[in-house]
């Protein structure tokens, strides 16, 4: 019971939306996940659960041959995250309408160093419990995404590129009235001023973006990287 209590506290802490937030999984001698404690018996009782947390968060997930850096307008980390979301939902499937992924650089909170990546690294990358959402976006609203990208300076995207102020989607035909956009629940509800998602048909899921990143990394073993820029203003 105490173990799950600790996970709940850690999970709640990870959902904090502070720009300076850095997740920590350590229970100091006199602090239990930020709760002051002066009872040495309680500290001793909680020690095994601290050890369990350390063991789980230190678990190996995958490796990367080079560092993945979070940097606008485009970077290998931004590309990898968007590709992970897109491939997790579209691999070996056919759709009658184009599917793209659009995330926000601000939702990614850490870069990856070269070498081994642990579970803790992915919690640092995506500390929020944001869930995947499918948004059915009219083609007429693509121009609003273009204006947004021009102002923001670049966001993680997949199956599309931004060139000279226009969003280019290879599979978009003149006969298409809609596209599907894979994004987070935060953005689908207008977060980061992505107001073009408001009032549209949405299909919500219970899939955490962080879980998609972890599962994709495990499946790849060694991260498949793409450093080519997808943004050219």
Q: Looking at per-residue confidence, does 81 or 232 come out higher? A: 81
* Whether residue 81 sits in one domain with residue 193: yes
* Whether residue 100 sits in one domain with residue 205: yes
CB 146 within 8 A of CB 69: no
The domain containing residue 23 runs over which residues? 2-58
* Whether residue 81 sits in one domain with residue 43: no
Asked whether residue 120 is assigned to any structural domain, the reply reads no
CB 108 within 8 A of CB 170: no
* Whether residue 43 sits in one domain with residue 149: no
Q: Structural domain tally of the chain? A: 2
Q: What is the mean pLDDT of residues 124-128?
A: 96
Tell me the C-alpha distance between 123 and 125, whole Å. 5
pLDDT, position 171:
93
* Whether residue 95 sits in one domain with residue 53: no
Name, in order, each residue with C-beta under 8 angstroms of 50's C-beta and a sequence gap of 6 or more: 6, 26, 27
Beta-bridge mates of residue 36: 31
DSSP symbol at 75 = -
pLDDT, position 233:
79
Cis amide leading into 47 (omega within 30): no
Alpha-carbon distances of 173 from 68, 98, 177, rounded to whole Å:
34, 9, 9
Tell me the C-alpha distance between 223 and 191, whole Å. 29
| CATH number for the domain that contains residue 168 | 3.90.780.10
- Tell me: pLDDT of 22 over 70: no
Q: What is the mean pLDDT of residues 26-46?
A: 52
Beta-bridge mates of residue 118: 60
Asked whether residue 115 is assigned to any structural domain, the reply reads no
Q: Looking at per-residue confidence, does 130 or 44 come out higher? A: 130
* Whether residue 148 sits in one domain with residue 103: yes
Q: What angle is formed at CA 202 by the lines to CA 201 and CA 206, rounded to 5 degrees? A: 165
* Whether residue 196 sits in one domain with residue 215: yes
pTM of the model: 0.80
DSSP assignment of 18-71: -TT--------TTEETTEE---HHHHHHHHHHHHHHHHHHT-EEEEESS-B---
Beta-bridge mates of residue 198: none
Asked whether residue 103 is assigned to any structural domain, the reply reads yes
* Whether residue 7 sits in one domain with residue 73: no
Asked whether residue 122 is assigned to any structural domain, the reply reads no
Asked whether residue 212 is assigned to any structural domain, the reply reads yes
* Whether residue 147 sits in one domain with residue 50: no
Asked whether residue 13 is assigned to any structural domain, the reply reads yes
* Whether residue 133 sits in one domain with residue 34: no
DSSP assignment of 172-202: --TT-SEEEEEEEHHHHTTGGG-GGGTTSEE
Tell me the C-alpha distance between 160 and 175, whole Å. 18
pLDDT, position 55:
78
Asked whether residue 147 is assigned to any structural domain, the reply reads yes
Label residues 25-64 b or e (16+ Cβ within 10 Å = b).
bebeeeebbeeeeeeeeebeebeebbeebeeebeeebbeb
- Tell me: pLDDT of 53 over 70: no
Asked whether residue 121 is assigned to any structural domain, the reply reads no
* Whether residue 218 sits in one domain with residue 149: yes
Q: pLDDT tens digit string along 156-186?
A: 999 999 999 999 999 999 999 999 999 999 9
* Whether residue 199 sits in one domain with residue 134: yes
- Tell me: pLDDT of 25 over 80: no
């Amino acid at each position: 019971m105490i173990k799950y209590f600790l996970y709940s506290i850690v999970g709640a802490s990870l959902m904090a939306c502070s720009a300076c937030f850095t997740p920590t999984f350590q229970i100091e001698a006199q602090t239990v996940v930020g709760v002051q404690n002066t009872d040495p018996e309680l500290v001793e009782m909680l020690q095994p659960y601290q050890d369990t947390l350390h063991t789980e968060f230190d678990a190996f997930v995958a490796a990367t041959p080079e560092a993945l850096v979070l940097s606008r307008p485009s970077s290998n980390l931004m590309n990898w995250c968007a590709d992970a979301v897109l491939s997790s939902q579209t691999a070996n499937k056919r759709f009658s309408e184009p599917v793209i992924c659009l995330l926000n650089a601000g939702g990614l909170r850490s870069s990856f160093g070269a070498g081994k990546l642990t579970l803790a690294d992915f919690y640092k990358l995506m500390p929020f419990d944001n869930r995947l959402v499918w948004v059915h976006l009219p083609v007429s609203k693509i121009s609003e995404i273009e204006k947004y990208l021009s102002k923001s300076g670049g966001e993680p995207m997949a199956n599309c590129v931004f060139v000279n102020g226009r969003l280019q989607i290879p599979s978009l035909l003149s006969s298409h009235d809609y596209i599907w956009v894979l994004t987070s629940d935060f953005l689908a509800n207008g977060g980061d001023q992505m107001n073009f998602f408001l009032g549209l048909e949405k299909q919500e899921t219970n899939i955490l973006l962080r879980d998609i990143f972890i599962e994709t990394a495990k499946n790849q073993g060694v991260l498949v990287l793409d450093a080519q820029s997808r943004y050219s203003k």
